[in-house]
Structure 1
Amino acid sequence: MGSPAVAQVVLPDSASMIKFQRQDEFYDSLANRANRNKFTGWLYDVLISPPRPYVDKKALALDYFNQYEGMVIAKIEIEALEVFGPSFTNPDKKVDNWAERFANTIHTKSNLKTIEKQLLFKIGDIIDPELMYENERLIRKLPYLKDVKFVIEQDSIYSAFANVKVLTKDRFSFGASGGVNGTSSGDIRLYNKNIFGIGHEFSVKFVGHLNQEPYLGIETYYKINNIGGRFLDMELGYLNTFRDEGFIYNLEKPFITEEIKWGYGLSVNRLFRTERITNDDPIKFEEPLNESYYNLWAGHSFNLNTNNENLTQLTLTASFHNVSFFEKPKIEPGNEHLFANRSMYMAGINLTQRRYVQDQLIYSYGITEDIPEGYKHELLYGYDANEFGDRHFFQFETSNGNLLLSRTGYVFMSTGIGGYFNKGNFEQGQINGELEFITKLVSAGSKQVRSFINLSYTLGIERYDLEYLTLRRFDHIRGFNSRTAIGQQRFSAKFEHVVFLPRQFYKFNMALFGFADLGIIGESNKLIFTQNYYSGLGVGIRLHNENLVFETFRFRLAFYPFHPSDMSFVGVVLDEQSKSRFMSFEPVQPYPKPFE
């Protein structure tokens, strides 16, 4: 067997090297002065970061695969490494403590047939570098895998042939979570993201309440990923808690790759008792609802050019969803449409372009992350067959995300408008916009530093009285839990500075963060900057082990100046934080944007 080729890092040119040498001299001098005092030295490490040459990791990966382009795949070998101990660079490394050895013993490694179903190539295919790069990205998205690497070796006898070795690194698939809501309710959740190593997921949550029946309830879900290697996912759920009782079924094949020409999905919910009309509905009701909901959608994509690097696609989509109420709460005049028995027929057209670059330490801790670049423009039309009067629906959204040309950061922008037309009147409409900027990862002594800035704006147009916006979600002011700060117009600005620490805490990676959030909320018919201001300031620490399927543990201390009367000035929280996700720019089912 031949030796695997190693991708070469392209160094900056001589002019750039001189530039960085002068910058290094300046920052070294500044660092020497700052380190004369412990406090100023710490501030230098956290706040001041010398620039470093940009390394294009996608280019390095493609350079590696390009060396074998056109060769025929003669053999495919799959090797699943233990959760703890070995790595891609040191596959023979042994674990160094009893806990990790025990965890490796009870963990079932991913079944090799399951990994094989994720591959987009087979024996006899010609090596395509872009396909290899895309396939690694898709496998990395699996919740039970930490990372994947394709190692290619040219055959020692037949130079036109190559052997592919697929190395995978599992996460420990067992997990647990829980929480307490005030003094009357709480829950604990147990789950496994890779049952028997075949990629199935199972979770069970026990939900308790001191005053509402059932006093101890259950939520359980079973999910099958990538059925038959066709990227088709299915989920079954049963709920019986003080909040919800019923059954849930989901089947979906999303457009996760540009090679998928048909996407489709089916969702069926039968809830005998629930607090919300749909799972993502922001409105919570005191009186339980008895309803059924089902949704069916399909779409087909067309390639508009053959440029693999910047492939533009046109996607046509259609959907049908129905909501039927068997019991309705008492409602005030003017809010009837919220509880209408209705059927919605929708059609959409999407123009998309997407590609991915690689980086680290954005939303994860030391593993490869795939950053989407591209755009998505979507136009929707819908016909609402409603028991209180039929309506027409229109929505337009556009979004764009790219690394800046200077590689100083990532920028994402989106804006949209949508709503219903009823007898010539525009109602239940909204205008929204978002701007997000993520700085590049820079060195600060032995630490790594990155900042996040997010601006968002939402304006409701002729919304119903029961529809309102809040600042309570993590998306706006972190830890803000007021139920009185509501309105139909909202502006929020969030800033976060994150310091990724090089040391570990019992195998958990650590990140310190500080944040400053501003939220303005109020009526829709007034200028937003003349309305109610709220803010949050705080610091915290996050702990995460990428070898585990656990969410990120977070401890946060926050202060809320000019806080509402139903919350305190200081907030201390120890909880879990789900990993944030990038907008992927992939076509999805046509659906009205939630007002939340």
Structure 2
Amino acid sequence: MILEKKIGLDILTIIAAVMMVCFSLALPLELFSQEPDSVTNSNYTKPKDLPRIVYKWLGRQQNTSKIPLHNSQAVEKFIPYSGKTINRIEVVILEPFGYSVSDSLIRPNRVEKFGNSLHKRTWKKVVLNNLLFNEGDVVQPIDFVENEQLLRELSVFEDVNIVLKNLPGTDLVNVKVIVKDKFTTSIGVAYSSPEKMKYALGESNFIGLGLKAKVIAYFDNEYDDPWASQGEFQVPNYFGSYIGSNFFYRYGHGYNTMSASLNRDFFASKTKFAGGIKVANSLEPYKIFNRDSFISINYHERDFWIGRSFSVTRFSKDKAPYNLVVALRYYQKDFLEGLQVSMYENPYFHSSKNYLISLGLSNQNIYRSSLYFGFGITEDIPVGFKIQFTSGIQQSSFQRRFLVGAELSAAEITPIGYLYLSSRLGGYMAEGAKFEQAAINIRAQYFSNIYRLGRTDIRQYVRYDFTRGAARFNGEREYVVLNRDYGIRGLRSPSLFGETRLMLNFETIFFSPHYIYGFRPAFFVFADFGLVGSADELVYANPLYSAFGVGVRFKNESLIFPAFIVRLAYYPRIPINADVAYWYLSTESRRRFEQFRIREPYIFQYE
């Protein structure tokens, strides 16, 4: 049993977090019950007024009058302009700090102005390249809804607001696209000990062109050469084609990895073609979970896919169409080094060629809200459904098999909140109609509506996840695990694996109305429950593991950094040789909503 802390923090996040905590403790509670404009406005500053002056400089309460705290259909604001012709498109780029896309009266204070002076504003051409409409086009409300979503998904923008205005006496409209930049430069340090550290430098909007670059240096004295490096470069969208590329390498400490890819998703309802190419060669360490040990693996990977979408419903000004998608994929992976294999041993390390075809039907509409995964920014809530069937042939080193896979997922905004449900299955049919390596997953997620206690916004989150395998082989990747990523946060043990896993997570989040340096705290309490073991006696023959705890996340949405998190937890039952994080200090990447766009053909992975 180990008392663990995890430290992997961005330097600027640490500074802002410390300042926020210090000022929160130092300032009197009654100060925070006042609006910023009522802090003070006197020519003579008394000593007792000094904390209020500090708060006015460093913090503000968010103006939530324009922010959609409650779920609303995103298409509503564009329907009155449906069928009109776009006369002119204007792009407005706002600096990261002290501005709002929905309230032009908000202006930065002195500290925010200084932060803006360090920022390179995004080029307007980047926004124009990501628009789904042009001057002279007829207004289709769904295009504008999906365009706001696409722009928010880019890492360079914090928020977006597209405003349409009628030209009096005509059938024309002017379009104003208002986007708010993020501060996209990041510097990070991950410290484990004086003998082991990591340094990172990233820029997600290189010279304002939307290009992403990141370099990481690793230091570990356990190796003969203690230094290793990693680099990544991304182009999200080439000249408005929505084709993006990614180039990646890592070298040292057992790694020699290079990969390159081009990809175009079904990014909008009217997207007709999608596809991708990926090539990778890698020598890398691989961790075997149930042995808690590493081996070295070496493989080559080739991946190609293409898809065509067909709209199967008539045009509707307020609903996205139903899309039917046919897609083909060829995937090849050749292992040069790995675990010892046979026909029924360590199938993950079998070299194979896979020929896949899929057929899918999907529909996705967007609601607008906030305080789901974000800390106050506008969030796009996808609702709709997706059905995708996949089949094909796999030719491995030992046999030829048919692949079978399916996915059914749906989400809806109900009177009591957001509900998401999905079911996925995958497996293989060997010669002689023998079913092998089957897996099924059932998942549900629920977010309550926002409740208010005073000026604190409260939301409840529940997640259920069940995974079961059947006719699995022996060896690596032929089991599921219960650990930090799949189950009990802060708990890991090589003994927590089996054929079936059941997880249930509860979390209640309290969003503070106060911002310090743009950082908003969100306090939370949680309870996690998990079972893992044999497929037939999961509930009766296996112990229930759980965790109960409290914590706080805080995030500045104007910064590219992930959320800063501090967490304390209690574990009633701890397995043998467990790695337990009773207290946890790190950063946390934002979770994302499941989308209902058809993706490349795939077989559900048992993990």
TM-score category of the 2 structures, normalised to the smaller one: 0.7 to 0.9
Deviation of 1:265 (Å): 0.6
> Deviation digits for residues 476-505 of structure 1, max 9, x if unmatched?
111112222111211011000000011123
Deviation of 1:211 (Å): 1.0
CA distance in 1, matches of 2:224, 2:256: 11
- Alignment-derived partner of residue 347 in structure 1: 357
Compare relative contact order (CA 8 Å, sep 6+) and give the higher one, 1 or 2. 2
- Alignment-derived partner of residue 576 in structure 1: 587
CA distance in 2, matches of 1:266, 1:274: 25
Pick from 572, 576, 599 the counterpart of residue 565 of structure 1.
576
Q: 1:362 is matched by which residue type in structure 2?
A: Y
SS in 1 for 2:295: coil
Contact 1:244–1:275 at 8 Å: present in 2 too? no
Contact 1:187–1:207 at 8 Å: present in 2 too? yes
- Alignment-derived partner of residue 3 in structure 2: none
Contact 1:490–1:528 at 8 Å: present in 2 too? no
User: What pairs up with 1:17-32 in 2 under 5 angstroms?
Assistant: none
Deviation of 1:72 (Å): 2.3
Pick from 301, 306, 312 the counterpart of residue 304 of structure 1.
312
> Deviation digits for residues 503-562 of structure 1, max 9, x if unmatched?
123320110001000010112343444313211111100010000011011111111111
- Alignment-derived partner of residue 118 in structure 1: 130
Deviation of 1:581 (Å): 0.8
CA distance in 2, matches of 1:568, 1:295: 37
Deviation of 1:284 (Å): 8.8
Change in Cα spacing, 1:90 to 1:436, as seen in structure 2 (3 Å) is: closer
User: What pairs up with 1:11-410 in 2 under 5 angstroms?
Assistant: 58-59=72-73, 62-91=75-104, 93-98=106-111, 100-155=112-167, 159-180=170-191, 185-275=196-286, 286-308=294-316, 309-330=319-340, 334-404=344-414, 406=415, 408-410=416-418
Contact 1:148–1:167 at 8 Å: present in 2 too? yes
Change in Cα spacing, 1:105 to 1:571, as seen in structure 2 (3 Å) is: same
Deviation of 1:105 (Å): 1.6
Q: 2:504 is matched by which residue type in structure 1?
A: A
Deviation of 1:566 (Å): 1.9
Change in Cα spacing, 1:82 to 1:513, as seen in structure 2 (3 Å) is: same
Deviation of 1:283 (Å): 11
1:444 aligns to 2:453 (yes or no): yes
CA distance in 2, matches of 1:581, 1:199: 21
Deviation of 1:372 (Å): 0.7
SS in 1 for 2:492: coil
1:415 aligns to 2:423 (yes or no): yes
SS in 2 for 1:227: coil
CA distance in 1, matches of 2:484, 2:419: 22
Deviation of 1:173 (Å): 0.8
CA distance in 2, matches of 1:563, 1:336: 29
CA distance in 2, matches of 1:198, 1:300: 30
- Alignment-derived partner of residue 477 in structure 1: 488
Deviation of 1:345 (Å): 0.7
TM-score (normalizing by structure 2): 0.83
Deviation of 1:585 (Å): 1.1
SS in 1 for 2:510: strand
Gap runs ≥5 in structure 2 = 1-67
SS in 2 for 1:380: strand
Contact 1:560–1:570 at 8 Å: present in 2 too? no
SS in 2 for 1:125: coil
SS in 1 for 2:527: strand
CA distance in 1, matches of 2:307, 2:227: 42
CA distance in 1, matches of 2:131, 2:360: 27
Q: Which moved more, 1:283-292 or 1:256-265?
A: 283-292
TM-score (normalizing by structure 1): 0.85
- Alignment-derived partner of residue 33 in structure 1: none
SS in 1 for 2:239: helix
Change in Cα spacing, 1:152 to 1:369, as seen in structure 2 (3 Å) is: same
Change in Cα spacing, 1:283 to 1:179, as seen in structure 2 (3 Å) is: farther
Contact 2:290–2:497 at 8 Å: present in 1 too? no
Contact 2:362–2:387 at 8 Å: present in 1 too? yes
Pick from 506, 510, 520 the counterpart of residue 521 of structure 2.
510
CA distance in 2, matches of 1:541, 1:564: 27
Percent of aligned positions that are identical: 27
What is the RMSD computed on CA atoms of the aligned residues? Answer: 2.4
Q: 1:401 is matched by which residue type in structure 2?
A: A
CA distance in 2, matches of 1:282, 1:114: 47
Pick from 535, 538, 547 the counterpart of residue 536 of structure 1.
547
CA distance in 2, matches of 1:563, 1:444: 36
- Alignment-derived partner of residue 524 in structure 1: 535
Aligned length: 535
Gap runs ≥5 in structure 1 = 1-53
CA distance in 2, matches of 1:115, 1:97: 28
Deviation of 1:162 (Å): 2.2
CA distance in 2, matches of 1:326, 1:64: 56
- Alignment-derived partner of residue 457 in structure 1: 466
Contact 1:510–1:544 at 8 Å: present in 2 too? yes
Q: 1:71 is matched by which residue type in structure 2?
A: K
Change in Cα spacing, 1:64 to 1:560, as seen in structure 2 (3 Å) is: same
CA distance in 1, matches of 2:76, 2:382: 20
Change in Cα spacing, 1:505 to 1:55, as seen in structure 2 (3 Å) is: closer
Change in Cα spacing, 1:558 to 1:104, as seen in structure 2 (3 Å) is: same
Contact 2:505–2:528 at 8 Å: present in 1 too? yes
- Alignment-derived partner of residue 35 in structure 1: none
CA distance in 2, matches of 1:353, 1:301: 12
Change in Cα spacing, 1:326 to 1:285, as seen in structure 2 (3 Å) is: farther
CA distance in 2, matches of 1:388, 1:184: 44
Deviation of 1:351 (Å): 1.4
Change in Cα spacing, 1:89 to 1:316, as seen in structure 2 (3 Å) is: closer
- Alignment-derived partner of residue 9 in structure 1: none
SS in 2 for 1:159: coil
SS in 1 for 2:283: strand
CA distance in 2, matches of 1:347, 1:276: 32
